[in-house]
Amino acid sequence: MPAARPHTLAQVSDFDVRLLKLFRSVVECGGFAAAEGALGIGRSAISQQMADLEQRLGLRLCQRGRAGFALTEEGREVYQATLQLLAALESFRTEVNGLHQQLRGELNIGLTDNLVTVPHMRITHALARLKELGPQVPINIRMTTPGEVEQGVLDGSLQVGVVPQVGALSGLDYRPLYDERALLYCAVGHPLFLIEDAQLEDARLDSQDAIAPTFRLPAEVQGHYQRLNCTASASDREGMAFLILTGRYIGYLPDHYAAAWVQQGRLRALKAETRSYAITLAAVTRRERRPHRVLEAFLRALEETA
């Protein structure tokens, strides 16, 4: 006669977990009768469910009868295994719930230079809010040109960037943040510095050595530079400021960035009413991107600063 195949538990289902929780209560209460109050069900229902568990496991877990309740040797081992299983389930539940309460991961953000002096400070406030929500979240800022910011968002090395919105690149989403006003400046020592706007002819203004940016600009802004005699170039606004402050060039700068030098008497705007333009700064993200809780929290914080 062939030996009987050993009984094995194929998988642990929700039903098995409920039976094991009942088994734990019976053991900790010291029997079926004592467990009635703790479980809120009658003794016959407890007995039936215990029988179901024994059948599922293929093991006799306890002795019950006139002599009282007692665990078998297998029952003691199953009880210890039950405690480990239920503790692991509780630990899993706590870990998963903790993921909803605390942000995990990092934020890699690319910024166009010299946004820190924007009075609105939406980026600063959003970063502060993110730090509150996820104290352990590393924040990595990369200062680079607008084109490199957009490329970084496209290739995934950056989750978000803030750039002047020139034209929407395929695969990117743009969220306008605020408009930035740029004025045409010269520095102390420049031949035009002491000439009042009323006496400053456009022809003379347009003949001065000027600086052209090498980053992309909207078509309507490019016309402002085409009027000028651009004999120098710069890849960012800080580079333009360096050249303007030599007193040998004129060039456009954001008014918030130039404000400190204007207050010091080192810069002045030339014909501000006609020689100015506005450009929209936007947060840029990849259109098709994987869910990223840190990024979504930062974007929500940006929206809250509006």
DSSP character string of 58-105: TS--EE-STT--EE-HHHHHHHHHHHHHHHHHHHHHHHHHHHHHS--S
290 burial via Cβ count (<10 Å: 0-12, 13-18, 19+):
exposed
Q: Which residue has the higher pLDDT, 12 or 140?
A: 140
Q: Which of 166, 181, 189 is nearest to 250 (CA)?
A: 189
Q: What pLDDT score was predicted for residue 272? A: 95
Q: What pLDDT score was predicted for residue 2? A: 45
* Rounded distance between C-alpha atoms, residue 148 and residue 94, angstroms: 41
Q: What percent of the chain has pLDDT over 90?
A: 59
Q: What pLDDT score was predicted for residue 4? A: 46
Q: Report the alpha-carbon angle 157-162-168, nearest 5.
A: 90
Contacts within 8 Å (CB) and 24+ apart, 189-195: 189/247, 190/247, 190/248, 190/249, 190/250, 192/250, 192/270, 193/247, 193/268
Contact 186, 193 (CB under 8 A): yes
* Rounded distance between C-alpha atoms, residue 144 and residue 112, angstroms: 6
Q: What is the mean pLDDT of residues 14-33?
A: 90
- Alpha-carbon distances, residue 283 vs 112, 194, 296 (angstroms): 11, 39, 12
Which ranges of the chain does DSSP label H, i.e. alpha helix? Answer: 14-29, 32-39, 43-57, 73-101, 122-133, 146-155, 202-206, 219-226, 237-244, 255-263, 293-304
Q: What is the mean pLDDT of residues 110-130?
A: 89
Assigned token pair, 241: 């400021």
**Is the pLDDT confidence value at 254 over 90?**
yes
Q: What pLDDT score was predicted for residue 161? A: 95
Question: How do residues 158-217 score in pLDDT, each as one tens digit?
Answer: 999 999 888 888 999 999 998 999 999 999 999 999 999 999 999 999 999 999 999 888
Assigned token pair, 149: 């910011």
Question: How do residues 46-70 score in pLDDT, each as one tens digit?
Answer: 889 999 998 988 889 988 777 678 8
Q: What pLDDT score was predicted for residue 98? A: 63
* Domains in the chain, CATH or no CATH each: 14-101 (1.10.10.10), 102-306 (3.40.190.290)
